[in-house]
Amino acid sequence: MGMTNTPTAAPVSPAGAADPSRWLRAPRPRASAAARLVCFPHAGGTANAFTALSAALPEDVELLAVQYPGRQDRRGEPCAQDLSELASGVAEALAGHDDRPLFLLGHSMGALVAFETARLLEERGTVARLFVSAARPPAQDWQEPDLTLVGDEELTAGLRRLGGIPEPLLADPEVAGEILRLLRADHRALLRHRCAPDTRVAAPVTVLLASADPKNSLEQMADWARHTAGGHEIAALSGGHFALLERPGESAPPLTRRIREDLARPPASGTSGASGASGASGASAAQDAEPLADLVRELMLEGLAGRTPRLSTDLTALEAAAGEVMAPEAFAYVSGTAGSGATGRTNRTAFDRRRLVPRMLRGTRRTDTSVTLFGQRLPVPVLLAPLAAQQVAHPEGESATARAAAATGVPMVLSTFASRTLEEVAGAAGDHPRWFQLYLPSDRAVGESLVRRAEASGYGAIVVTVDATHLGFRPAELDSGYSPFLRGTGIANFTGDPAFRAGLPADADAKTTVLRWAQISTDPTLTWEDLAWLRGLTRLPLLVKGVLHPDDARLALEHGADGVVVSTHGGRQLDGGVSSLDALPAVRAAVGPDVPVLMDSGVRTGSDVVKALALGADAVLYGRPYVYGLGLDGQRGVEHVLRCLLTDLGLALALTGCASLADVGPHLLANGDRR
């Protein structure tokens, strides 16, 4: 495929390279270009497939097209037996082209070759971004047939349905025979390709998805997130499987915009070359994306193809949907509140009572949602709240949540009472920012061990929760007689802890272990002096979560806290209490403008986030909706929830005239709502 009568572009041969002329073609050489886009063709394709795209790119981007062996001027060479052979050849050929940032773009099978090439180039730090088009993630089963078993007529008919090859070429027996030969050879290499689910590149990934592509869907593309530590995004194109090549005028702008944004961004500290592919750069990529229209456009294009989202984009509707699919006792645990539920309702009422005032013609085409907390720049003012025992919602529990958080650029706060160990979750999160929430155990040796493990596993802060030293009276849980912890779910950080195991008898069974956990997991005798002890234990930033009274905020700072989280524990502790949003302004006034103040409880939408920021929060913790997404569709469900939230947040900022979070303040709220 991609066979045309266009003359083959001149080979590229920089001094010192290991014969790159066999592999690279420059349809339009641009010596002064600021960046190079290296393009990998599809199965059966040639370097000529990218000629039109090269012409559509601006002068500051030079396109280098890869020529696989076995075709055109390389016809005398045998076709590759494995995709790794192609990746090795291209990586070697690019050794002399690292004077400018390299962006890799692979179409269909070429996306896998580009992915493997990026892995080989990572040590040089020269891959700034990976673009993948019309290609399922590398660990997925591509469900491709063995084309050696498919006859010429059937295979040609399939090519006509898929598009991408002009009819005159398919009608020419000699040309068509060559296309089928290459296609079968490349497919043999494709069928041999294997990739582990946890294989990742450091560079961020942009997925180009055509709305009418019969071979790929938005759901399938979401799994590219697990194959990058630098963050991923999906850009929508109109057209079919070959939209990238058939519509160069539409394909070039999103590529160009992303390349220029990456070039303008300074490399993250600790990275080399132009890659910027660390956890920090992944956050920057998420922050600098254009969320205002991308998700909306994607879903509309999906709608044109007759596809609708698996989950509702109404984040307030997810609770009812999750209630239909989760086990009743698990749903009761996640959704339940204390007593009559008055605090939970008040949390929502506080948001509904306040109104944002839109502002017009402020030129807010893009919004900067980044925030700096404790010297760390985070891409969004949203962190995932520490919800316990997430395995009750989905078998992968917090590991799936951590992958989704990394994919969407949202930092995660892991609960002490997680169903996966903090080390497992750190592995799933990769380089993405994460904090650890601590319930301080009555056994101080166990508490110290948990802190040391969090430090060793790359958690960036300790969030000590102080409002749950006594268990709230929660009828939904009590009526079902259900506690995940007493059934062994949510205590992994204890059963995997050496200090905790040291307190167990050698022959301890599951019941003994759970009873020991119940005895020491929290401490109702805690005082502010215990916070001072914890402060002396670690140099990590220390936040106190569960503060609602301004005096408690002052006491937290006096005893060593670096910040506070205004929280009602999601309404799960004290029935009839004040809402977090109502308590927020007084807490902010008590600690002053420079102390980080976060809040949670009742946050559901992007507008809610803006209201919290307007009343004094630096960021919010986002809770139940993402767990409902987890219960509904695992990692993809969490990603869906977070993409919806961040899109809504970006639009809320733009519609209130805010180009960045620095523009947010009480003036965004209607008179009377500013307290």
Question: Would you state the pLDDT for residue 299?
Answer: 81
Residues 400-419, mean pLDDT to the nearest whole number: 94
Rounded CA separation 158/161 (Å) = 5
Question: Would you state the pLDDT for residue 32?
Answer: 86
Residues 78-89, mean pLDDT to the nearest whole number: 92
Question: Would you state the pLDDT for residue 347?
Answer: 95
Would the pLDDT of 571 be above 50?
yes
Q: What is the mean pLDDT of the chain?
A: 86
Residues 463-486, mean pLDDT to the nearest whole number: 92
pLDDT tens digits, 225-253? 889 888 878 887 778 888 888 888 888 88
Under 8 Å between Cβ of 86 and 115? no
Residues identified as active-site: 569
Question: Would you state the pLDDT for residue 365?
Answer: 67
Residue 98: phi and psi, rounded to 5, are -100, 15
Sign of CA dihedral 258, 260, 265, 270: positive
Confidence band for 264, pLDDT divided at 50, 70 and 90: confident
Under 8 Å between Cβ of 305 and 210? no
pLDDT tens digits, 422-433? 999 999 998 889
Comparing 54-63, 95-104, 474-483, 544-553, the range with the smallest average pLDDT is: 95-104
Question: Would you state the pLDDT for residue 19?
Answer: 63
Would the pLDDT of 6 be above 50?
no
Instruction: Please give the domain boundaries of the chain with CATH numbers for all domains.
Output: 20-304 (3.40.50.1820), 318-658 (3.20.20.70)
Share of the chain above pLDDT 90, in %: 60
Confidence band for 500, pLDDT divided at 50, 70 and 90: very high
**By C-alpha distance, which of 443, 397, 445 is closest to 422?**
397
pLDDT tens digits, 320-337? 999 999 999 999 999 999
CA 74-80-84 angle, 5° bins: 125
**By C-alpha distance, which of 71, 68, 73 is closest to 114?**
68
Question: Would you state the pLDDT for residue 276?
Answer: 32
Higher pLDDT, 253 or 346: 346
